[in-house]
Structure 1
Amino acid sequence: MPSVQSDQGADAMAKYLISFPSAAMALSGEELQAAATAAHAVVQEAKDAGVWVFGGGIDESVPPVMVDGDGTVTEGTYPQTRRLEGGYSILELPSREAALEWAAKMAVACRCAQEVRAFQYDPAV
C-alpha cells in the first residue's frame, strides 16, 4: 500500500465515509439489480486493493433507538439524524484524492452521487 507523509505520521492512512441517502437511488427493479451487481464489484475491487474497512446499507425496517448511560432505551434518535438511511462504505486510504476516486467508482455503480467525509485521526487507535 502507498504510504503518506503527514502530521499523522509516516504510513498513516485515513478512514473515509462514502455514503448516499436511499432517496438518491430511485431505480426500477431491473436497474436496482444492475446497480447492486455493479456496487458489489466495486466493493470487491476495494477489498482486493486492501482499502475496504466496512460497508452496508442501513436496515430501514428496524427503527433506531437511543441508549442512555444507565442503559435506558428510548425509541427514536437525535432530531438532526432522523433520516439516517442509505448506503455506507468506510475505506482506509492514503489521501482525500484517493477517497474521491473511490467515491466516483461508487457513484457510477450506484447511479447516484456519493458524499465523502473524513474520520478524525486518532493516534491511540
Structure 2
Amino acid sequence: MARYLISFNDGAMDHIPAEEMSDVGKASHAVVEGAVDAGVWVFGGGLERQRASIVATNGSVTDGLYPETKEVIGGFAVVDVPTREEALVWAARIAASCRCGQEVRELMPDPETEEMIRRADGRG
C-alpha cells in the first residue's frame, strides 16, 4: 500500500459562515471515522493559524515563511491505500465534508524507516 497526503491551504475554509462550522466539524469527523473503520487512516488534523518557525541546518531559528512561499497548509490527512484512485476517493469525501478542495500527493516510501518502526513496535 502507499501513503498519500491529502491537504488544503490555510484560508480555504474562510468562506464557511461561523454558524455552519459545527456541521462541517461533524461531517469531517464522520469521514475520519469512516477512514478509521476502513483501516486506511494514518493521521491528520488542522493546523493553527500562525507563522511557522524555520529551523536552519545550523540550528538557527527564524519566524515566518520561506520568502518564496505563497500558500501554507491549513489541514491535512494521511491515508494508506492501495491505489491513487482510492486516495482520490478519500480526498473527495474530505473535500465534501470540509467544503474546500483538496490536494493529493503520494508520500515517498521509506522501507528503512518502516522497518525501524516495526522493530520499535515489536512487530519486526
TM-score by length of structure 1 reads 0.80
Report the residue type matching 1:58 in the other structure: L
Q: CA separation of 1:52/1:80 partners in 2, compared to 1, >3 Å: closer, same or farther?
A: farther
Gaps of 5+ in 1: 1-12
Look up the SS of the partner of 2:11 in the other structure. helix
Q: How many residues align?
A: 112
Which residue, out of 100, 108, 125, partners 2:96?
108
Task: Work out whether residues 51 and 91 of structure 1, in 8 Å CA contact, stay in contact via their aligned partners in 2.
Answer: yes
What residue in structure 2 maps to residue 3 of structure 1?
none
What residue in structure 2 maps to residue 43 of structure 1?
32
CA deviations over 1:39-70 (Å, ceiling 9, x no partner): 01101111111111111111113x21111233
What residue in structure 1 maps to residue 69 of structure 2?
81
What residue in structure 1 maps to residue 117 of structure 2?
none
Gaps of 5+ in 2: 115-124
Q: Distance in 2 between matches of 1:71 and 1:39?
A: 37
What residue in structure 2 maps to residue 20 of structure 1?
8
Q: Distance in 1 between matches of 2:21 and 2:98?
A: 8
Q: Distance in 1 between matches of 2:42 and 2:69?
A: 23
Q: Percent identity of the aligned residues?
A: 49
Mean CA deviation greater in 115-124 or 74-83: 74-83
What residue in structure 1 maps to residue 58 of structure 2?
70
Task: Work out whether residues 53 and 91 of structure 1, in 8 Å CA contact, stay in contact via their aligned partners in 2.
Answer: yes
CA deviations over 1:103-123 (Å, ceiling 9, x no partner): 111111111221111111222
C-alpha displacement of 1:79: 2.5
